[in-house]
Structure 1
Amino acid sequence: MPMTRTPVRFLPPIPHLCLTLALPLGLAACSTAGSYPSLAYRGAERSALPAPAEPAPPPVQLPPPSTDLTTRISGLVTAAQDADRQFASKRPAAERAVSAAARAARTSDSWVSAQVAVSALQASRDTAVAALADLDSLYADARTAAPTDESPSTRAIDTARQQVQGLVNAQNDIISGLDARLRN
């Protein structure tokens, strides 16, 4: 028995048809001019607003660094500067010794002399490193005493720390450069 086919009709689905017809009407409704309510606070809403905050009290003025602390900081900075001058005076000898040991065997007299000169250069900066360690301890103590606010004492110590740290960093760079030249 042969099968007959019935034609199938495709009709647009009803929800899509409704949406197609309702969309222009909805858009037209959005464009109408009218009176809208104000967005300002109403009387009942004003009473529910939090009260304005009271002004913050003025910050507590911390005392300046004591004379004792200032003297100690000054002494540590002076010691670091003296150590830096010693370092600078020994640097040319160390550089000459390292230049003389360039490409020399590690067992040669010139290489050993260069090592001794670099070691003397490193030893000359020990006072600066010790001064930096003392300033770090003072800074830690000052921050512990005033953990929330940076006190004038803390600022004074930190300024000295940065100055001495700069000297030590420059010395470290020089020693690293000399060591690198010896290794090559």
Structure 2
Amino acid sequence: MNRKIAPLLITATALALGACASDRDGYPSLARRPIERLNTAPEPVATPEVPPAPPGPEVLNRLDVALGRARSADAQFRQHESPTRTAVAAAQGAPVASEAWSVATIAVSDLESARSDAMIALADVDEIYAKARIEGGDTTAIEATRNQILEMVTGQDAVLDSLKDALTQ
């Protein structure tokens, strides 16, 4: 008996709901009204542009320390570059794990270690830069310092790449 009642209930419900929606004139139109076409947004107010604040003495001091550290690392790198080139030249053609190859590999590793101090200085400057950008400060001095350190690191990377390539041949 329940099987016969269920289809009747579904049909009756559908007819009742359909009857509710038959009065189309009673509902408002969703079309745009004339008042909605008016532009009532206020005119933008021109505000004077305030230049970002320059870095304070503490930040400038940190930049000087980072640049000094990078220059020191670069000097140490340049000091070890020539002996490393000599060791790599002596190891060219030598089998892997030979004495000459091991000496050259250690020399290249020492050179990479000297480069790491410059990378730490670059990371310090990147931290200062990110903080200044977040706070809306002037980053001109920070970018100049960063570019100087980045130039040193890029030169060191080129030297290391050439030495590693020569060592693998």
Name the residue aligned to 1:12: none
Name the residue aligned to 1:25: none
How much does 1:55 deviate? 8.1
TM-score (norm 1): 0.66
Identify the match of residue 176 of structure 1 among 128, 153, 161. 161
Name the residue aligned to 1:73: 63
Partner amino acid, structure 2, of 1:70: L
Larger radius of gyration: 1
Identify the match of residue 121 of structure 2 among 86, 111, 131. 131
Give distance in 2, aligned partners of 1:61 and 1:107.
Answer: 60
Stretches of structure 1 lacking an aligned partner (at least 5 in a row): 1-52
Secondary structure at the aligned position of 1:82 is classed as helix
Give distance in 2, aligned partners of 1:62 and 1:142.
Answer: 10
Name the residue aligned to 2:23: none
How much does 1:54 deviate? 7.7
Secondary structure at the aligned position of 2:46 is classed as coil
Give distance in 2, aligned partners of 1:54 and 1:112.
Answer: 70
Identify the match of residue 109 of structure 1 among 91, 99, 104. 99
Give distance in 2, aligned partners of 1:106 and 1:127.
Answer: 29
Alignment of 1:1-184 (within 5 A): 56-146=46-136, 151-152=137-138, 154-184=139-169
Matched-pair identity in %: 34
Secondary structure at the aligned position of 1:125 is classed as helix
Give distance in 2, aligned partners of 1:117 and 1:91.
Answer: 9
Give distance in 1, aligned partners of 2:100 and 2:46.
Answer: 69
Give distance in 2, aligned partners of 1:54 and 1:126.
Answer: 51
Give distance in 2, aligned partners of 1:122 and 1:64.
Answer: 35
**Number of aligned residue pairs:** 130
Structural RMSD (CA): 1.9
How much does 1:84 deviate? 0.1
Stretches of structure 2 lacking an aligned partner (at least 5 in a row): 1-42
TM-score (norm 2): 0.71
Contact 2:85 2:163 in 1 (8 A): yes
